[in-house]
Amino acid sequence: MAEVEKQVERLLNSKDFVVIGKGIARVDSLEAVTGRLAFTGDLLPSNVLYVRPVRSTVPHALIKDIDFSAAKNIPGIVGIYTWRDIPGINDAGSLIPDRPFLAVDKVRHYGEAMAIIAGERPEAVDEAIGLVRVEYERLPAVFDPVEAMKPDAPKVHDKGNICRHMKIRKGDVEKGFQEADVIIENTYQTEFIDSVPPEPEIGLASPDQDGGITCIGSMQNPFDVRWKVADILGLPQEKVRVIQAATGGGFGPKSDETPIDVCAYAALVAYKTGRSAVSIMTRDEAMVTQAKRHKFIIKNKTGARSDGRLVAWESTLIEDTGAYISKGHLVIVRAIFHCAGPYDIPNVKADGYCVLTNNTFAGSTRGFGAPQAFFAAERQMDELARKLGMDPFELRLKNLLRRGSKTITSAEIEDDGLAMCAEWVYNNSEWVRKRREYEEFNRKTRGPIRKGIGVAMIYHGNTLGPEGEDFAYVDVSVDKDGKVSVRTGLTDFGTGAATGLLMIVAEELGVTLDKVRMERPDTSKVQNPGPTVASRVTAIGGRAAQEAASKIREKLKGVAAEMLGCPSERVVFREGRVYDSENPENKVSFEEVVSQAYRIGLELKETGYYIAPPTKWDEETGQGKPYNQYTYGAEVAEVEVDVETGLVKVVRITCAFDVGRIVNPIGLKDVVHGGTIMGMGQAIMERFIHEDGIVLTDNFSTYWIPTAVDSPEIIYHLIESPGPAGAYGAKAMGEIPVVPPPAAISNAVAHALGVPVKQIPLTPDRVLELVKRAGET
Amino acid sequence: MSFGSPWFTLPEFTYHKPKTLKEALELLDKYGEEAKVMAGGVGLLAFMKERLMAPSHVIDLKGVPELGQAIYKEGEGLTIGATVTLNELARYGPLKKFGALHDAVRDIADPIIRNRATLVGNLCEAIPWVDTPPALIALGAEVEIRSLKGERRVPVKDFIKGPVEIDLEPGELVTAVHVPEPRRNSRSRFIKYNTGSEFALVSVAANVVMDGGRVRDVSLVYGAVSSTPQVAVKAADALKSAEKPWEVLDEVGRIASEEVEAVSDVLASEEYRRHLIRVLTLRVLREVMG
Ligand SMILES: Cc1cc2nc3c(=O)[nH]c(=O)nc-3n(C[C@H](O)[C@H](O)[C@H](O)COP(=O)(O)OP(=O)(O)OC[C@H]3O[C@@H](n4cnc5c(N)ncnc54)[C@H](O)[C@@H]3O)c2cc1C
C-alpha cells in the first residue's frame, strides 16, 4: 500500500523537464578557470588608496591612549581615522547592533579594529600600522563559555554574558526517564572552526559624482553591506550602491560581518578623501576576524526501553559566540531544534545558551550549528547502542522520523525521505558485512591499523525558518533579440547557485541555457531579495525565478497563439521552439515570438516574488512548526586508525541525501563532494586555537584543512522526495553535506578503537589518548 | 604583533640573471649582504613578501647552465647542481640508489611546487621542517661552496647552523650538493609523518650498513622536531653494539626519543613528537634492516 502511494505521489509530482535535472557545469566555470572572471582585486583603479585597520593585540582592555605621531609621518600616509571620524552610526553588527565599527574606549577580542589608516602604497600603510602605539588597561577576561555563564564572570558587554536561552519542552521528560530501561549521559565538545574561503575579504569603494559611494566587494549579501555602510557614513540607503564582484568562496562568513567591515573601511576613506579606496584582508587578518563556526559544549542524557525505543532525551547546549553576537542567537536555535537527532522521541527537554566570551566572534558558517548538534546526538546514539548491545544502524531504524512521526517540536513529518536515505546507505555501504569484518580484523591484527565503520543520520530544517523572513525576488527580462537576462540580489560565490537559477528560467521559458545570462548583483538594479544564506537560492530563489519566467511565458503565449493560429493553452515552449501541441510542425522560434511581442509593444520584464509560508513555534516550549520542510541524509564513514601515531584516515564515505528535486546533478555532486570533505576537516583536522583569547592558528601553516590528497572515496546517492516549499519540490542542499561527517567519522573511530569519542577534531594526539584509554579498559 | 604579512607585493629590489658562475660570484661579491641568491624562488619570494628578508639585489642562478645538472658517477656518488629542481631530481634514474633522498624528494609539497623548488634551495632555506636535510645528513652528503676567493666543502650536518641559518659567508654560494656512493650492504629510507599534505610534524631518515646479522653502521636523523635536524648518536650506538639488532629496536626507539631535542608548538606537543620519534624509528629501521 505504502509502495503504491509512493508511486502515485511520484507520478503526480513528475514533470517532463527539459533543462532541470540535466547535468550542467557551472555557467561561469570556463571564465573562472581561464582567469577572465573579474574579482574585486582585478578591478583596482591605478590611483587607489590602500586602507587597513589597526587591530588590538589583546583580548579585553580599555584603550587608554593611541599615539599616531610616528605613523603619521610615514611618506604616503593620507589619513588616519578613528571612531571620532565616523559621520553616521558607529556599528557594524549585521543583525544586532552590538559591535562598534571602530572601537571607542574598549576592545573585547583580539584583532578588533580601533582605527584605520589610508595610504598611497600598501607598504606605507603597513609600516604606519607597525608604528601606532596603543596604551591598554587590561581587563579581566573570560574565554570559556561555561565560566562565562557564572554570575561573577567578567562581563563582555554591560549586560550578562548569556545572550539567549532557548528552550524545548515536549511531553514529560521526567516521566520518560522513569519509563526508561537504560539511561546514558555524556558531554560532547566541538571547537571553533574557520571556514577559510579561498579569497579573503576585500572591499573597493569609490565616490560618485552625486555624493554617494559605490562599493564593489567579495560578499554574499550586498544589501546587508549597503545598509551598514550607509548607516556608518550617515547617508541615505539610495546613496550607497553595492555590487558583488566574483566572489571566491563564502561558506557563511561572507554573509556575516567582515564583508561589511572591509567595504566600510574603504567607504569611509573614499567619503573623506574623495578618492577610490580599497581594503583587503590578508589571510591571517581574515582568519582572526571572520565569523567562525561556534564552539559547542553539549550534554545529552538519553533514556530508552530495552528494545531500543527512545523514551526521553534531555540536552543542554552551550554555545561560545565570542565577543559579539553576530548570528549566535540564531545558530543556537538551529542547534537546539536538531539536538536530538532525526528521531521520534515522546519526551524532550532541551536548553540552549548563546554565551559571550572574549574569544574572536563566531557567526554564520555552513551548517549553522547543525554539525555540532548532530555530532553530539549521533555519538550519543552509538553510545546508547553499545549500552543496549544493539547494532547502531538497527537502533536508528527503530526510532527514525518517518511520515507521520513528530519531531521534537511536535511538527509532523510529511514524507519518507529519511527512511529512503537510510535504506540506500544500509545496502550500499554493506554495513552488516563490513561492521563484522572490521571487528574481526581488529581482533586478529598485529599491525598498527584498526578499522572502523560508523553511521550518522540527519534531518535539516529547510532554509531560514526561525532565522528570518524567507522571501526572494528575481527579475527576468527578455531583450528584443530573444536573449534572456536574470537579475537578482541573491548571489553565487562559488556555489553554482546562479546556474541553478538560470536553468529554472530556461526551463520555464522553453529556451536553451545559452540564451540566458545572469547579471551581477547590484543594489541599484534590484530589490533586496533577502540574504543568500541557509541554502536558499535554488529552493526559495528558484520559486521567484520560476514565477518571473512563467509570467513572461504567459504573456508570450498570447502572442504565439495568434502567430500559430491556435488556442493559447496549446502553445508549447521548448528548447527555443514555440509550437502547437497538437501540430508540432506548426511552429515559430522563440526569437520570432519575442520580436512580435516587441512590435505590439509588450513589456517583457517581470519580477518574481516568493515567500515561504511563515513558520511558528512557541518561545517557551519550542513547540510548533519551525521549518516548512526537511532535507534528509544518511551517511556511513569508514576509517583506518593508526594506533601508534594516532592518525585517522577516512577511507570511504557512502551517503544518500533527499534533495526533493534534482535541479542540477553536477552542482549537487560538487556540493556533496565539497561538503563532505569540509565536514571531514571538522571531524579530524581543523582546530582553531585561541590561547587566552589570542589566535594561534591564523594561517595554513598552523591551521590544517583537508586538500585533495586527504579526500576519501565518496559514494553518494540522491533521492527525490519533493517538499512543499522549494522550486519543483527542491530542498535545501548547499550546506547539508557538511553536517553528517563529524558524526559519522567519529562514530567510525569509536568503533575502530572501542572507546567513546566525545570531542572533535580527532587530531592524532587526541586519538592517542583514546588508544590509551582503550588499553586501560 | 602585526596582523598579516605585508600584502601581496614584494619589497623593491634589483633583479640580476647572470649567465656564468663567475658573473654570479662577482655580483655576489659586489653586493655582499645586500644580495640574496635565488634558485626556484619558492622560499625566497615568500620570505620577502612577509618582509622576513628584504635583499636589495636578487641574483637568479637559473641562467647559469653548469649549475643545472645532476650527475651520478658510479663509485663516486651523486652531485646535484644548485638549480636542479625537485622534480628533475625525482625523475633522474640513479636517485633510486639513494633511498632516503628519493623518499624525501618525492613527498615534498605537490607537483607544482616541485617543478620550481630546488634541492639546494630546500637545504639552504634551512627551516626546521623541510624534508631533504635529514636525508642528506643520513647519507653523509656534503655542500660545495664557492666564492671569488675559492671553494670549500662542508658536511650538510655542519652546514645547517640554526633555524634559517647556514654556514655561508657573504660572497659565497652553494654550487652543488654531493652525496657519496652508498656503502656496500647499505640501505636508507626516509619517513615523513603528517596528517595530510602538510609539512612534517616529525620526519626520520635512517641509513644502515648491515654486516651479516649485525648492524655495522647506522645513521638516524630527525627533522621537524627541533630548530635543526637532530642526529641520534646514542640510539645508533645501541643498535651497532647489539648482537641481535632485531631484538633491540624498541630500545633504540626509546633512546632516540629521549636523546634528541624536541619542542612543543601549535602543531604538536613535545610529548607527542617524542612519541612519534619512537614509533617512526621502529618503522624506518624495520624497513632498512629488512
Ligand atoms: C605550499 C608549500 C608547501 C611546501 N611543502 C614542503 C614540504 O612538504 N617539504 C619541504 O621540504 N618543503 C616544502 N616547502 C618548501 C619548499 O620546498 C622550499 O621553499 C623550496 O624547496 C625552496 O627551494 P627554492 O629553489 O625555491 O629556493 P629559493 O626560494 O630560491 O631559495 C631559498 C633560500 O635559499 C637560498 N639559496 C637558494 N639557492 C642557493 C644557493 N645556491 N646558494 C646559497 N643560497 C641559496 C636563497 O637565498 C633563499 O634564502 C613548501 C613550500 C610551499 C610554498
Q: State which amino acid sits at residue B85.
A: T
B109: nearest CA in chain A? A709
Contact A286, A200 (CB under 8 A): yes
The secondary structure element, H or E, covering residue B88 is helix B86-91
Contact A679, A710 (CB under 8 A): no
Same domain, B71 and B163: yes
Q: How many domains does chain B have?
A: 3
Give the mutation candidate from A48, A284, A645, A688 for the B interface (greatest B CB count, under 10 A): A645
- Please report which confidence band the pLDDT of residue A8 belongs to, taking 50, 70 and 90 as the band edges: low
- The pLDDT score that the predictor gives to residue B1 is 40
Residue ranges in chain B whose pLDDT is less than 70? 1-8, 197
Same domain, A523 and A456: no
| Averaged pLDDT for residues A206-224 | 96
Is A613 a residue whose pLDDT tops 50? yes
- The pLDDT score that the predictor gives to residue A15 is 58
- The pLDDT score that the predictor gives to residue B197 is 66
**Which 3 state secondary structure label does DSSP give A610?**
strand
Name A290's Cβ contacts closer than 8 Å, sequence gap at least 6: A194, A195, A197, A201, A253, A256, A258, A281
Same domain, B219 and B234: yes
Write the pLDDT tens digit of every residue in A230-281. 999 999 999 999 999 999 999 999 999 999 999 999 999 999 999 999 999 9
A380 is written with which cell numbers? 550519543
Strands (E), A505-590: 516-518, 571-574, 577-580, 583-589
| Positive/negative CA dihedral, A711, A715, A718, A719 | negative
| Positive/negative CA dihedral, B270, B272, B278, B283 | negative
CATH number of the CATH domain containing B156: 3.30.465.10
Dist CA B99 CA B183 (whole Å): 12
Write the pLDDT tens digit of every residue in A99-141. 999 999 999 999 999 999 999 999 899 999 999 999 999 999 9
Q: Which residues line ligand 1 (CB under 6 A)?
A: B 36-44, 46, 61, 82, 108-109, 113, 116-118, 120-122, 124-125, 130-131, 168, 173-174, 199
Mean pLDDT of chain A: 96
Dist CA A434 CA A424 (whole Å): 16
- Please report which confidence band the pLDDT of residue A11 belongs to, taking 50, 70 and 90 as the band edges: very low
Same domain, A433 and A520: no
Residue B75 lies in a domain: yes
Q: How many domains does chain A have?
A: 3
Please name the residue ranges forming H helices in A354-430: 370-388, 392-399, 417-428
**Domain interval for residue A501:** 2-37+471-611
Same domain, B173 and B225: no
Same domain, B208 and B283: yes
**How many residues would you count in chain B?**
290
How far is the CA of A480 from the CAs of A126, A526, A546, A646, in angstroms?
52, 21, 21, 65
| Averaged pLDDT for residues A545-570 | 97
**Domain interval for residue B141:** 65-180
Contact A540, A660 (CB under 8 A): no
Residue B2 lies in a domain: no
- The pLDDT score that the predictor gives to residue B145 is 98
- Lateral strand order in the sheet of B186-193: B186-193, B202-211, B214-223, B230-231
Other Cβ atoms within 10 Å of B148 Cβ, number: 12
Residue B4 lies in a domain: no
Same domain, A657 and A640: yes
Same domain, B81 and B28: no
Strands (E), A100-212: 106-107, 113-119, 133-138, 162-170, 182-189, 202-207
Centre of ligand 1 to C-alpha A282, Å, is: 22
Is A777 a residue whose pLDDT tops 80? no
Give the mutation candidate from B2, B3, B279 for the A interface (greatest A CB count, under 10 A): B3
B166 is written with which cell numbers? 647556514
A167: exposed, middle or buried (Cβ count in 10 Å: 0-12, 13-18, 19+) = middle
Write the pLDDT tens digit of every residue in B34-83. 999 999 999 999 999 888 899 999 999 999 999 999 999 999 999 999 99
Question: A285 and B266: CB-CB below 8 Å?
Answer: no
| Averaged pLDDT for residues A642-656 | 97
Same domain, A597 and A486: yes
Question: B267 and A702: CB-CB below 8 Å?
Answer: yes
Same domain, A685 and A709: yes
Residue position matching grid coordinates 546508547? A384
- The pLDDT score that the predictor gives to residue A7 is 55
Dist CA A217 CA A223 (whole Å): 12
Residue B3 lies in a domain: no
For the entire predicted model, the pTM comes to 0.95
Pick the last residue of a domain from B147, B180, B213. Answer: B180
A284: nearest CA in chain B? B4
* Region for A627 from its dihedrals, namely left if φ exceeds 0, alpha if ψ lies in -120 to 50, beta otherwise: beta
Same domain, B169 and B229: no
Centre of ligand 1 to C-alpha B118, Å, is: 7
CATH number of the CATH domain containing B39: 3.30.43.10
Residue A490 lies in a domain: yes
CATH number of the CATH domain containing B275: 3.30.390.50
ipTM above 0.90, yes or no: yes
CB pairs under 8 A between A and B: 70
Please name the residue ranges forming H helices in A581-737: 590-599, 665-680
Is A460 a residue whose pLDDT tops 80? yes
Residue position matching grid coordinates 514565477? A547
A residues 98-137 closer than 8 Å to B (CB)? 111, 122-123, 126, 129-130
Pick the last residue of a domain from A588, A611, A634. Answer: A611
Pick the last residue of a domain from B152, B180, B208. Answer: B180
A99 is written with which cell numbers? 559591535
Residue A155 lies in a domain: no
Write the pLDDT tens digit of every residue in A500-537. 999 999 999 999 999 999 999 999 999 999 999 999 99
- Please report which confidence band the pLDDT of residue A1 belongs to, taking 50, 70 and 90 as the band edges: very low
- With beta carbons under 8 A apart, name residues in chain A contacting B11: 123
Is A747 a residue whose pLDDT tops 70? yes
Largest CA-CA distance found in chain A, in angstroms, rounded: 85
Question: B11 and A123: CB-CB below 8 Å?
Answer: yes
Residue A263 lies in a domain: yes
**Which 3 state secondary structure label does DSSP give B81?**
strand
| Best CA proximity match to B4, nearest among A218, A111, A496 | A111
- Please report which confidence band the pLDDT of residue A709 belongs to, taking 50, 70 and 90 as the band edges: confident
Same domain, B84 and B171: yes
Question: B5 and A282: CB-CB below 8 Å?
Answer: yes
Residue A166 lies in a domain: no
Q: Is B14 on the interface with A (CB under 8 A)?
A: no
Percentage of residues in chain A with pLDDT exceeding 90?
Answer: 94
Pick the last residue of a domain from B41, B62, B83. Answer: B62
